[in-house]
A and B are shown apart, each in its own frame.
Chain A
Amino acid sequence: MESAEAIYQYAWIIPVLPLLGAAIVGSGLISYNEATNKLRKPVAAFIVSLIGAAMTLSILILVSQLQGHAPYTYLLEWASAGDFQINMGFTIDHITSLMLVIVTTVAFLVMIYTDGYMAHDPSYVRFYAYLSLFSSSMLGLVVSPNLLQVYVFWELVGMCSYLLIGYWYDRDGAADACQKAFVTNRVGDFGLLLGMLGLFWATGTFEFDLMGSRLTDMVSMGTISGGLAALFAILVFMGPMAKSAQFPLHVWLPDAMEGPTPISALIHAATMVAAGVFLIARMYPVFEHIPTVMSVIAWIGTITAFLGASIAITQNDIKKGLAFSTMSQLGYMVMAMGVGAYSAGLFHLMTHAYFKAMLFLGSGSVIHGMEEVVGHDPALAQDMRLMGGLRKYMPITAITFLIGTLAISGLPPFAGFWSKDEILGSVFAVNPVMWAIGWLTAGATAFYMFRMYFSTFEGEFRGNDMEARTRVKLQSLQMAGASMGPGAMSAQELEVSSSAHESGDHHHAEKPHESALSMTFPLMMLAIPSTLIGLVGTPFANYFEAFIHPAGEALTVAEIAEEFDMNEFVRMAGASVAISVAGIILAVLMYRARKIDPAAIAKKIKPLYNLSLNKWYIDDIYREVFIKGTRNLAKGVLNVDVKIVDGIVNLTGFVTLVTGEGLKYFENGRAQFYALIVFGAVLGLVFVSGLT
């Protein structure tokens, strides 16, 4: 018992360790740039061992929490004004200990992977510093004891995401994407801030439990209207909406794929984007008593799940495809939270973190291999139309990717099956329409994931097909041109065909190779939880739910098992496995056996196909309405400022000047004028005050 207490007291070390690493490496980069940049391996080893230490500590804490030790909270006065004070600190409970382990294990493996993936990058050291800073912020987020501290780290992970998406800052795509990510998230944070202030105004606290209980009391006593409470809660939910890429604030996530792939795995698949779900879980004491809010959350999740999957079906960029898939899976989690399936949502968060991190790292391995053939051009190296047959060259990547594909498709006994099935089961009990959408989405998921797997790893390798390369390159330029407007296009187009051939000519290899051990090792490690971790949450022995549950709903494994109904399970699981298998068969027919021509289908349903390919035109609408709108508004305001506000004051100045010049004739210089004004004004004031 005593040793457990000691671990808890020192739990603050977990986020501080990576912060220390980032601070040391960062100040090294600023003061001795060249020397620090040369210390590649030592820096990597240092950062990785710090996160390793944090991981060890996190696992110890999880074990201790599993043994049933009481939660622990430590608070420190951070800022105060008068009798008001803001506390910061850390809290260790079930959900925190689980999140700590998820974050540290994924971060640890991603950092090992980074060594291989970024081996040739000149800013390798800076990348590690950013990674470490992100890990620290993310760990700080999960240990936060109150909403204000969550907000602090919420913004910090957003900043790290900004820095990492814009890591290759000389690329225009990355530069635009990082800005978009930050601003979209700020829109969400705007809601979160307002909701937080509203809840604070109403309840006078930032503590999650107190907030919930006081708000409930106040609504029931009629001190505050239910509508207002719902409004505050929905405003808070805007935060998770942006961070977890929920419709309509999802637009930043696909663009965020401009960042290096390890980032996509760590931040934009496993940890940061799941922070939204985590916050919903933390805010459960407030949300669960307001049915309106719960159904808004559930519907937003459902729409997002469907939207993401419907777009993922037609994407050719492997990372974009995975990004939309992530969005869709996050939709499942949010939907689960909304229907009250608290532990199912978090269960899916956990399984998804592992298998999606593995899928992203696998795609990174593929891109790394493709770059050997097509050169360092993301438009070519990430396009699945140029891949194919990679299983022969990269067997480890292929097998782990297949495991991930099976897991996300929801086939037993892989991890995704148990969590997704639990979500669908809970949703069915609440709203069959929602369930039907989720169920269809599951089929689409299996289809697009197998489409991805077959196009990448099976069939013939298409990377040396020069015509295909030119076509892909041209298309990507057109896409970029469309968003930038006409102008610089034509000259570039002419160059493309020659440059595509040229780059092919003196590129190093004809065939891709399997990646180095530093990259394949994390893949193999992640394959283990992707396969097995679902078994902790099977409906007949749900250890997960016994551990993670909303306050006051504690059940033992045996109690949960008692509620378990074999018939219902078979029906529900059967339905979801059936639709997944249908999706897989369709993918086999289209992309493996080639019995059905995808292009012909695309032609038949052209409008739908274009809708999906163009991401439902949401980006275009936002560009027209919000981006151009803000620009025009800003220009309008500036015009007002220059012409009217400044003009009027300048005119007054002119008049003064003229009168000043005139006065010169009567008096001698400005001093008298000055005195005159003063005298007149004093006289006036005394007069007025005398009157009253």
Chain B
Amino acid sequence: MIGEQFPWLTFLVIFPLLAAMPIPVLPDEDGKTIRWYALGASLAEFGLILYVFTTQYELGSAGLQLVEEFSWIPQFGLSWSLAVDGLSFPLVLLSGLVTTLAIIASWNIKLKPRLYYSLMLLIFSAQLGVFLAQDMMLFFIMWELELVPVYLLISIWGGQKRQYAATKFIIYTATCSVFILVVALALAFSAGGFSFNLSELAAKEYSLPFQLICYLGLLIAFGAKLPIFPLHTWLPDAHSEAPAPVSMILAGVLLKMAGYGLIRMNISILPDAHLYFAPVLAVLGVINIVYASLTAFAQDNLKRRMAYSSIAHMGFVLVGLAAFNSLGMSGAMLQMISHGLVAAVLFFLSGVAYERTHTLSMEKMGGLGKAMPIAFAFFTAGAMASLALPGMSGFIAEITVFLGMATSDAYNVFFKAGVVLLAAVGVVLSPIYLLSMLRNIFYGEQGEVKLPKDSSWEILPREAFVAVCLLVPIIGIGLYPKVAIQTYSAKTVQVAARIQTTLPDVPDAAPLSKVMMMPGAEQIIAPSL
């Protein structure tokens, strides 16, 4: 077995980068070789991910697996350290799927295809690097590495205001990500020993004020990326200008890096600070949900509306993380996976609509259902998934977050009730903005955009393939969520158990019925009608 020695994860991270190397010199006479080459490379990479994960990874174990560590620049204490566990596993799969499909979705890129596909492959490497890195400095490098291609992809292949959007994107995320570096240095230097290794950092004991400051720094860094109100305004601009495949990756995977960072660093390394910040996360999450849902409803630009919808959905991740128990943690993870798939399919389909109508203004569209009935069906399915229809992945994610918050023992009843109530307002608002989106685009009579009489606008088999590849896991997870949950649950249970220990003595069981059985249990004061 070479599996024992062969550095599979290193190979996975480096392979797309290596594959991108020869692109500038490949012969490309008819303009088709490059895209086939890029597709081949990403398919090979995705296949490898699947192969490695099915043969080498053991589900249900909470610890790190396939650990690889090489000293890289010992002077700085930097090591090339990769490993996979329950948090990385589903997100690596997600990024493999979404990036590969984004390359298929980029089939008609005419402008500078060599650079475009090289950048796509570079993002692929960087994403895997972020999710697999076990060294905080390496994590930071990978995080930064992913910013550059996204900046270029928006600023070269974007829409009218691409420069503005790309600059805003880079300023926001680069500025805020400085905090990752700062905190990494601070953590490494303090409390004895010098190492960037995440497990070692998590094992150290830090003083509470120090933890709080570091937590805040990381929260700003990840908050800009997730994004959290009020650091979210780059996202609608970036999405409305980015080409659809870039939006797929941006919403589908890159936002998840922030959620991943919150669990991997804020919660795992700084659990004591999490106790203090969790209510803040809950409040921010609720603001994300309600505020972004309302803003989404007021948007006329299709992709801006979906960008705000992404912000709202990421609010559930925050609420889940704030719940302080394994249910909430599980819901947050599931929401990330689910939103990755749902946002990818919706952004992809909006690209399909844009290629045909040449507008993103929903006001100008109308009656598209007649011209593209199958695209209409996919779009409806995507919108239903996004509004958390049962039978699709979003429902189980959101209901788990709700249950986690409702049974959380970290808050008093009023706080919990308030959070649940306001988050549930999002459940009413999401169909309002999503169904009115469908209404404006597909229903009714022809709008300003003239429709063809024939079926020339109908979705192409290639496009249908992309949509189906995303919808199948959405429905699969919706029908049998254990498929997705088992990939990470051992790890989230462990993380939740760790933070539970920071709670000042509370009864271990959440449901009131069990509390009730305990003699002398405190009575819950409830408002009477």
Q: Given known contacts A221-B516, A678-B181, is B190 in contact with A689 (CB within 8 Å)?
A: yes
Q: Which of B418-455 contact A (CB under 8 A)?
A: 420-421, 424-425, 427-428, 431-432, 435-436, 439, 442-445
Q: Is A685 an interface residue (CB 8 A)?
A: yes
The smallest C-beta distance from A684 to any residue of chain B, in angstroms, reads 9
What residues on A are CB-neighbors of B185 within 8 Å?
678, 682
Let me know if A170 and B178 touch, CB within 8 A.
Answer: no
Of A63-71, A147-155, A442-450, A600-608, the one touching chain B: A147-155
Q: Among B373, B389, B402, B527, which residue has its beta carbon within 8 angstroms of that of A228?
A: B527
The smallest C-beta distance from B141 to any residue of chain A, in angstroms, reads 14
Of A50-58, A197-205, A247-255, A549-557, the one touching chain B: A197-205
The smallest C-beta distance from A139 to any residue of chain B, in angstroms, reads 14
What residues on A are CB-neighbors of B511 within 8 Å?
200-205
Q: Is A169 an interface residue (CB 8 A)?
A: yes
Let me know if A169 and B482 touch, CB within 8 A.
Answer: no
Give B523's nearest chain A residue, CB to CB.
Answer: A223
Q: Is B374 an interface residue (CB 8 A)?
A: yes
What residues on B are CB-neighbors of A633 within 8 Å?
294
Let me know if A170 and B443 touch, CB within 8 A.
Answer: yes
Question: CB-CB contacts of B513-529 with A at 8 A, as 1s and 0s?
Answer: 11010000001101111
Q: In the bound complex, what is the Cα–Cα distance between A183 and B428 (angstroms)?
A: 7
Q: Which of B487-529 contact A (CB under 8 A)?
A: 489, 492-493, 496, 510-514, 516, 523-524, 526-529
Let me know if A228 and B390 touch, CB within 8 A.
Answer: no
Question: CB-CB contacts of B159-195 with A at 8 A, as 1s and 0s?
Answer: 0000000001001100100110111011001100000
Q: Among A156, A162, A187, A228, which residue has its beta carbon within 8 angstroms of that of B391?
A: A156
Let me know if B427 and A189 touch, CB within 8 A.
Answer: yes
Q: Among B230, B329, B425, which residue has its beta carbon within 8 angstroms of that of A649?
A: B230
Q: In the bound complex, what is the Cα–Cα distance between A77 and B481 (angstroms)?
A: 10
Q: Is B480 an interface residue (CB 8 A)?
A: yes
Q: Given known contacts A81-B485, A689-B186, is B298 in contact with A169 (CB within 8 Å)?
A: no
Let me know if B178 and A153 touch, CB within 8 A.
Answer: no
Question: CB-CB contacts of A612-624 with B at 8 A, as 1s and 0s?
Answer: 0000000000000
Interface centre among A227, A646, A689 (most CB of B within 10 A): A689
Give B304's nearest chain A residue, CB to CB.
Answer: A638
Q: Given known contacts A182-B431, A197-B403, is B389 in contact with A637 (CB within 8 Å)?
A: no
What residues on A are CB-neighbors of B143 within 8 Å?
none
Q: Is A226 an interface residue (CB 8 A)?
A: yes
The smallest C-beta distance from B137 to any residue of chain A, in angstroms, reads 12
Let me know if A81 and B444 touch, CB within 8 A.
Answer: no
Q: Given known contacts A170-B367, A183-B428, A204-B512, is B485 in contact with A197 (CB within 8 Å)?
A: no
Secondary structure call for the B interface = helix
Let me know if B489 and A30 touch, CB within 8 A.
Answer: no
What residues on A are CB-neighbors of B400 within 8 Å?
79, 81
Q: Is A674 an interface residue (CB 8 A)?
A: yes
Let me know if A645 and B233 touch, CB within 8 A.
Answer: yes
Q: Which of B457-507 contact A (CB under 8 A)?
A: 464, 468, 480-482, 485, 489, 492-493, 496
The smallest C-beta distance from B89 to any residue of chain A, in angstroms, reads 16
What residues on A are CB-neighbors of B291 within 8 Å?
637, 641
The smallest C-beta distance from B327 to any residue of chain A, in angstroms, reads 5
What residues on A are CB-neighbors of B443 within 8 Å?
166, 169-170, 172, 174-175
Q: Is A662 an interface residue (CB 8 A)?
A: no
Let me know if A30 and B514 touch, CB within 8 A.
Answer: no
Let me know if A692 and B209 touch, CB within 8 A.
Answer: yes
| Subset of 24 A-B contacts with CB under 8 Å | A31-B464, A33-B373, A79-B481, A82-B325, A152-B391, A155-B390, A170-B370, A170-B445, A193-B424, A197-B420, A200-B403, A200-B511, A204-B510, A205-B513, A214-B513, A221-B516, A225-B528, A227-B528, A635-B298, A637-B291, A641-B233, A645-B229, A650-B168, A689-B186
- 4 smallest A-B Cβ distances: which pairs? A204-B511, A175-B443, A82-B326, A227-B528
Name B residues whose Cβ lies closer than 8 Å to a Cβ of A: 168, 171-172, 175, 178-179, 181-183, 185-186, 189-190, 207, 209-210, 213-214, 229-233, 291, 294-295, 297-299, 325-327, 329-331, 367, 369-370, 373-374, 376-377, 380, 384, 389-391, 395-396, 399-400, 402-404, 406-407, 416, 420-421, 424-425, 427-428, 431-432, 435-436, 439, 442-445, 464, 468, 480-482, 485, 489, 492-493, 496, 510-514, 516, 523-524, 526-529
Name A residues whose Cβ lies closer than 8 Å to a Cβ of B: 29-31, 33, 77-82, 84, 148, 151-153, 155-156, 159, 162-163, 166, 169-172, 174-176, 178-179, 182-183, 186-187, 189-190, 193-194, 197-198, 200-205, 214, 218, 221-228, 230-231, 292, 630-631, 633-635, 637-638, 641, 645-646, 648-650, 653, 656-657, 674, 677-678, 681-682, 685-686, 688-689, 692
Q: A200-B403, A645-B233 are in contact. List 19 more A-B contacts (CB 8 A).
A: A30-B468, A79-B396, A81-B327, A82-B326, A82-B327, A159-B389, A169-B442, A172-B443, A175-B439, A182-B431, A194-B424, A197-B406, A204-B512, A204-B514, A205-B513, A630-B297, A630-B432, A634-B298, A685-B183
